[in-house]
Amino acid sequence: MDTLLALLTVFTQPQLFLLVGLGTFLGVYIGAIPGLSVTMAVSILISFTFSWDVYPAISLMVGIYMGGVYGGSRTAILLNIPGAPSAIATAMDGYPMAQRGEAGEAIGVTTVMSFFGGLVGIAVLALAAPFVAEFALTFQPRDYMLLAVLGILLVGSLSAGSLLKGIFAGALGIAIGAVGRDPLTFAERFTFDFQIMEGGISFIAVMIGMFGISEALLQLHHVGAEAMRQKIDRIVPSWSTVRKYLPLSLQTSSIGVIIGALPGTGGDIAALMAYDHAKRVTKKPTRPFGTGAMEGLVAPETANNAAVGGAFVPMMTLGIPGDAVTAIMIGALFIHGLNPGPMLMVDQPQMFWFIVGALLTANVFILICGLTGIKLFTKIVEMPRAVLIPLIMLLSVVGAYAVNNSVTDVYWMLGFGVFGYFMRHYGYPLGPVILGVILSRLLDDNWRRAIISEREDLGAFSAGIFGSPLSLTLLLVVVAIFVSQTPVYAMLKSRISKRAADQA
């Protein structure tokens, strides 16, 4: 009974309900603008809501978090510039749809599927949080490393052109991620003895440059071209459309929750893995992937919203942040006089259920905010390019600066923008670069931790992998995916299918 009351707190107090709604609404816009991040918004809210009670403060933060994760898809679809790292995969099929004038449909499906993914995440949080949290804790450094290797294999599905160029791009990404003072040993890496290189390269700056600036520079080739008129008459997808993608979205949401719940991995990796998964399991996509496949839109969007619920799992049960935003929320709870940790669930279960309720509310508001106001967004794409291009460039500069209040980041952003422009011209895929940067630390740190724990003994290291069911499973998945990408597999497959055809 208490549980139900706590769950319903948000609904019984109109003030909280409206704050969640306001948060979600703002979150959509914050998420949509590259450079304005949820992390940033939530940490500003700590000061802003300093004198408030804890419930209203958390309501607003939860709303912004949910809305922000969803909002990243907007600019990804409309401008090919992901508003947040977790929307990179969304751009790959969402933008081609906008190019065909189907932005409205794309946004509609994205919204409904984000809602669904969010729901799955919340359901797991509400029903199974303690179990999932214990499971997440069993991940050892070697498991994280295998997870990173798994992620790196996604390069194959992110580079439809030349796989070789994809590999180069992915490796470059990992190298970019290593720049600066190594956080584990403080050794300088790729700094060339320049002080400004010590802090490393902000990966948001790389993303904004590669997607924002290089896209704007490419668009310069077609300044005069008429913008595509967007059809926005059928935004809400039909029930049959939604039903068609339900099985896939259930799978991708599960990926999202698990990856989200692991401390150290978040919605960005989840979305890319889900995209890869969709590419693998979908036999007949609506269109080939990369040219506007609905499945390519559904997968990352369900996964990154499901990851929100996932990120709250270790936060609420153990006081361990699932990602950067939940880390700040732990700080917020602390400032508001609570003691976030494993005892929170025991001492103050109502806080847990209140957050579940707030997340549910925010999720409903996503439907409302998402399905309305699309007209305004599509107007942005229909703006004359002569205005749009300079504005994208300016926003990229401001956004890159805002990440760490650093002019250095602006220079990096511009540099990678120009570099990305050439990469696009010569057929080097950009996705793997970002993938590499995201995975760099995960791979590097955990490889070192794993091998140090075994005292540099590769034998003990492999024994560890084969001795643990979790590690072994991950290894088998890695091997399976790797084999499926090599020519041997394709040869085998064609031979088998040929034999099948002969027999028939």
Partner 1 sequence: MKTFLAGLSLLAMTGGSALAADYPVKEIQGIIQWGAGGSTDTVMRAVTPHAAEALGGNIVMQNKTGGVGAIALRYVQQQDADGYTLLMGAENPQMYKVLGLGTDDYTDMVPINVLARGVPMFVANNDAPYNSMTEFVEYAKANPGEVRVGSTGPGGLTSIVLAMLTDQEDVEFTRVPYDGDGPALTALQGGAIDVMPAVLGAAIEGVKAGRMKVIGLVDTQPNDLLPGVVPITEEIPGFADYLPWGPFFGVFVKKGTPDEVVAELQAAYAEGAKNPDFIELMEDRGFIVMSIAGDEAMDFLESYRSTSSWLVHDAGFSKKSPEEFDIPRP
Partner 2 sequence: MKIDYRGDADHHDGTSDATPGGYETERRPGELAFALFLLVASLYLLWEAYGIAGFEALSSAGAVPMATTAAMAVSALIIVLRTARLPKVSTESLARDILPFKVILFGGLLVCFGLLLVPLGFLPTAALFLVLAIKYLSGRGWGFTLAVSLGSLLLIWVVFRIVFTVLMPAGIVPEAELLQFFRNLGTGGGAQ
Q: Which of 397, 437, 438, 465 binds partner 2 (CB under 8 A)?
A: 397
247 is written with which tokens?
């099985």
Q: Which of 256, 360, 444, 471 binds partner 2 (CB under 8 A)?
A: 444
For every residue of 334-346, DSSP letters joined together read HHTT---STTHHH
Amino acid at 313: V
Give the integer Cα–Cα distance in Å for 358 and 181.
40
Sole residue written with tokens 């979150």: 27
For position 194 contacting partner 1 by CB under 8 A, the verdict is: no
In the complex with partner 2, which residue's Cβ is closer, 90 or 361?
A: 90
In the complex with partner 1, which residue's Cβ is closer, 330 or 430?
A: 330
Q: Which of 58, 89, 330, 413 binds partner 1 (CB under 8 A)?
A: 330
For position 488 contacting partner 1 by CB under 8 A, the verdict is: no
**Residue 443 contacts residue 453 (beta carbons within 8 Å):** no
Q: Which does 200 bind (CB under 5 to 8 A by kind): partner 1, partner 2, none?
A: partner 1
Give me the sign of the Cα torsion angle 367, 370, 373, 378.
negative
**Residues 160 to 219 in contact with partner 2, rule: CB under 8 A:** 160-162, 164-165, 167-168, 171-172, 174-175, 178, 182, 184-185, 187-190, 192, 211, 213, 216-219
Amino acid at 172: L
Give the integer Cα–Cα distance in Å for 433 and 170.
5
What are phi and psi for residue 233, nearest 5 degrees?
Answer: -80, -35
Instruction: Please name the helix (run of DSSP H) or strand (run of DSSP E) that holds residue 219, with its range, or none.
Output: helix 214-219
Binding-residue pattern over the window 401 to 430 for partner 2, x denoting contact by CB under 8 A = xx--x-x--xx--x--xx--xxxxxxxxxx
**Residues 97 to 126 in contact with partner 2, rule: CB under 8 A:** 99-100
What are phi and psi for residue 189, nearest 5 degrees?
Answer: -130, 130
CB of 329 to partner 1, least distance (A): 8
The three-state secondary structure class of 180 is strand
* Closest-CA residue to 152 (of 136, 169, 140, 135): 169
Q: Which does 247 bind (CB under 5 to 8 A by kind): partner 2, partner 1, none?
A: none
**Residues 37 to 96 in contact with partner 1, rule: CB under 8 A:** 39, 42-43, 46-47, 50-51
Q: Which of 42, 64, 78, 91 binds partner 2 (CB under 8 A)?
A: 91
**Residues 205 to 264 in contact with partner 1, rule: CB under 8 A:** 263-264
**Residues 261 to 320 in contact with partner 1, rule: CB under 8 A:** 263-264, 318-320
CB of 184 to partner 2, least distance (A): 7
Q: Which does 128 bind (CB under 5 to 8 A by kind): partner 1, partner 2, none?
A: none
Give the integer Cα–Cα distance in Å for 241 and 462.
46
221 is written with which tokens?
């080739």
CB of 48 to partner 2, least distance (A): 10
Q: Which does 424 bind (CB under 5 to 8 A by kind): partner 2, partner 1, none?
A: partner 2
CB of 148 to partner 1, least distance (A): 15
> From the centroid of its chain, how far is CA 503?
46
Give me the sign of the Cα torsion angle 154, 159, 163, 169.
negative
Contacts of residue 24, defined as CB under 8 A and 6 or more positions apart, other chains included, come to: 63, 64, 66, 67, 362, 365, 366, 369
Contacts of residue 47, defined as CB under 8 A and 6 or more positions apart, other chains included, come to: none
CB of 394 to partner 1, least distance (A): 21
Q: Which stretch binds partner 2 (CB under 8 A): 38-46, 116-124, 131-139, 371-379?
A: 38-46
Q: Which of 160, 228, 324, 398 binds partner 1 (CB under 8 A)?
A: 324
User: CB neighbours (10 Å) of residue 491?
Assistant: 10
In the complex with partner 2, which residue's Cβ is closer, 158 or 273?
A: 158
List 189's β-bridge partners, or say none. 180
Count of positions on this chain that bind partner 2 (CB under 8 A): 91
Name the H helices within 101-188.
103-137, 141-152, 155-158, 163-178
Give the integer Cα–Cα distance in Å for 410 and 407.
5
**Residue 301 contacts residue 73 (beta carbons within 8 Å):** yes
Contacts of residue 20, defined as CB under 8 A and 6 or more positions apart, other chains included, come to: 10, 59, 60, 62, 63, 358, 361, 362, 365
In the complex with partner 2, which residue's Cβ is closer, 36 or 299?
A: 36
For position 44 contacting partner 2 by CB under 8 A, the verdict is: yes
Q: Which does 429 bind (CB under 5 to 8 A by kind): partner 2, partner 1, none?
A: partner 2
**Residues 124 to 153 in contact with partner 1, rule: CB under 8 A:** 137-141
CB of 1 to partner 2, least distance (A): 41
**Residue 89 contacts residue 113 (beta carbons within 8 Å):** no
Q: Which stretch binds partner 1 (CB under 8 A): 120-128, 194-202, 248-256, 364-372?
A: 194-202
Residues of this chain that interact with partner 1 (CB under 8 A) are 39, 42-43, 46-47, 50-51, 137-141, 180-181, 183-186, 195, 198-200, 263-264, 318-321, 324, 327-331, 334-335, 337, 339-344, 346, 404-406, 445, 448-449, 452-453, 455
